[in-house]
Amino acid sequence: MKKVIVLEHAAPFYEEDQILELDHAIDFATAAHAGQKRKSGEPYIIHPLSVANTLIEWGMDIDSVLAGVLHDTVEDTEATLEQIESLFGRDVAFLVDGVTKVSQARAGMQDLSNYLPQTKDNLSKLLIAVGQDVRVIIIKLADRLHNLSTLQHMPKDKQVKIARESLEVFGPMADRLGMGRVRMQIEEFAFSFLDPPEFKRVQNLIKKRLGKSTRKLGVVRAEVESELKKHDIKAEVNGRVKGVYSLYRKLKKVDGNIDDIYDLMALRIVVERKEDCYLVLGILHTMYQPMISRIKDYIAIPKPNGYQSLHTTVITPTKQIVEFQIRTYEMHDYAERGLAASFHYHDQKASKDYIKGRKSSTLPAQLQWISQLQEIAAKLGNNEEISKDQLNVDLFGNRIFVYSPKGDIYNLPEGALPLDFAYLVHSDIGNHAYSFRVNGSIHAFDKQLQNGDVVEVVTRKLSLPKQAWQDLVTTTHARNKLRMQLRQLGVIASLTGAANIIRRKSSHKKAR
């Protein structure tokens, strides 16, 4: 990819001085990587330019694009971080340093199935890089996407290693950031290298089924478009086909029977206002028979990664089963690009607090995990023990949203218990928890919370943590807060005990 293509792509979205800075960064990277080749035989500069182009396409701010161009210079050339800071500013240098640290942490990975780098130091670097600025991981995702697209040039063992890492680590990370399209692209590339025969089989299964269904779906689409016009609702109606890897995973759940999968093809209806989403849902249910169990309102209760949409599955008069997804243009943009959709070209300064998650209260619920990473990294820096299981739950497990009685949203891992919620709200609330009410009913300490639960913590000043509570928390955050309090109580108890002994001895002497 030549410099001129990247600059032309960027021109409509950035200020003139930013384009000049991008031009300068490309020249600097080209000189730094001079003589280096990719495994494909292409000049190395093709890779960072492709990464930058992807970041432009995703709508990232100019600092991220500059870091995309420069992301390999410190690791693979004679260029230094000090040079980059003096030429392109502290923010760009910080991002390049973060991407470099993630690469170094990855190099230390030993057991990919546990998503853990080999050493605590490497893991700490990775967590701090993510926690301080989430743009680091977005740049890394763009980097990984281009590497996957050229994976055929690597040796077979490297193909498998990179593909598995992509499927197990980078795919879930893209999903966590709400970047649905990127997650699917990563999964498609990785799956095609990990199991080529199965990839081909599922791909052919989709093609065969599409041939039968496309014409029928076209009739339904025309009917819906006509009905929406009658109601003066402006909408785009498009088809959506399930990804190969998504279908592969779903087939495993239904014993390979594709007839049990209703969302292989879906119609997506995109409208201008949230209110229109519900109007469209009502119109569809007037036209066709809805399958009640398959109506999902992800607008009122978004998915843990921030995804919003209405889903419904209907049965047409010809007995065809069709799934619909209904969302606004803004929701659609987020479903496709996730967090990247939040980085507006001309609002960079206003979004600084949003980009850099220093306090969980400044982040939307689906991004609270970023701030929690910083806490984990701090614990690692103090050489405190954190188990692999805890990290798997906290970083890569499925997430749920629960609500406080006031309507505040809290993001927890699936399987979380009430004490996990209490400690996430505040350590004092956790320490003095006496009982819990969930959705208005008494809830046991050892009963898991569910997505959408409203959780009330009943506290009492005299209620204090017990050793047994260590079996009633699942998150690293809650476990660390609980252990800290138990240690403090242990010190208080020992001091109280010593004071009582002294008091008794003193009384005994007086009695004599």
**Looking at the domain assignment, is residue 48 inside a domain?**
yes
First to last CA, the chain: 96
Give me 1's structure tokens: 């990819």
What SS3 class is residue 264?
Answer: coil
Comparing CA positions, the residue from 67, 69, 70 lying closest to residue 133 is 67
Q: What's the residue count for the chain?
A: 512
Question: pLDDT 10s digit of each residue in the chain, 512 long?
Answer: 578 888 888 888 888 999 999 999 999 999 999 999 988 888 999 999 999 999 999 988 899 999 999 999 988 899 999 999 999 999 999 899 888 877 665 554 444 334 444 444 444 455 555 556 778 888 999 999 999 999 998 888 889 888 988 887 788 878 878 888 899 999 999 999 999 999 999 998 888 887 767 778 888 999 999 999 999 999 999 988 888 998 888 888 888 877 777 777 889 999 999 999 999 999 999 999 999 989 999 999 888 778 899 999 999 998 888 999 999 999 998 888 887 776 643 344 344 444 443 333 345 566 666 666 656 655 655 666 655 444 543 455 567 778 888 877 787 888 899 999 999 999 999 999 999 999 889 999 999 998 878 899 999 988 889 989 999 999 888 988 898 888 888 755 555 555 555 555 555 555 55
Q: Is 452 helix (H, G, I), strand (E, B) or coil?
A: coil
Distance between alpha carbon 175 and the CA centroid of its chain, in Å? 4
Q: What is the pLDDT of residue 297?
A: 94
Question: How many angstroms separate the CA atoms of 46 and 37, rounded?
Answer: 9
CA–CA–CA angle 405, 406, 410 (5° rounding): 80
Q: Which of 367, 477, 396, 372 is nearest to 116 (CA)?
A: 396
Beta-bridged to residue 412, according to DSSP, are: 400
CB 370 within 8 A of CB 131: yes
Query: 277 and 189 share a domain?
Result: no
As given in the structure block, the two tokens for residue 438 are 């969930």
Q: Are residues 180 and 224 in the same domain?
A: no
* Phi, psi of 491, deg, nearest 5: -65, -45
C-alpha 76/C-alpha 106 separation (Å) is: 15
Whole-number pLDDT of residue 174: 85
* 310 and 381, same domain (yes or no): no
Question: In the prediction, which pLDDT does 356 show?
Answer: 44
Read off the tokens for 170.
């980078």
Tell me the CATH number at 216: 3.30.460.10
Contact 412, 420 (CB under 8 A): yes
| Residues acting as catalytic residues | 75-76
Cβ-based burial of 15 (10 A; exposed 0-12, middle 13-18, buried ≥19): exposed
Does residue 426 sit in the same domain as residue 303? no
| Domain residue limits at 321 | 197-339
Among residues 472, 409, 484, the alpha carbon closest in space to that of 436 is found at 472
Nearest by Cα to 327 from 349, 352, 358, 303: 303
Q: Which residues pair with 456 in a beta bridge?
A: 437
Alpha carbon distance 311, 327 (integer Å): 9
One domain for residues 392 and 421: yes
In terms of domains, do 134 and 271 share one? Answer: no
Among 285, 306, 339, the domain boundary falls at 339
Q: What share of the chain is helix, strand, coil (3-state, %, to 5)?
A: 60, 10, 25
3-state secondary structure 347-401: CCCCCHHHHCCCCHHHCCHHHHHHHHHHHHHHHHHCCCCCCHHHHHHHHHCCEEE
* Cα 472 off chain centre by: 26
User: Which residue type occupies 341?
Assistant: A
Q: Are residues 335 and 263 in the same domain?
A: yes
Question: Residue ranges of the alpha helices (H) in 196-243?
Answer: 196-230
Pair of tokens at residue 113:
């199935």
- Same domain, yes or no, for 282 and 377? no
The structural domain count of the chain equals 3
- How much is the pLDDT for 59? 86
Residues 123 and 151 in one domain: yes
Question: Which of 151, 177, 193 is where one domain is finished?
Answer: 193
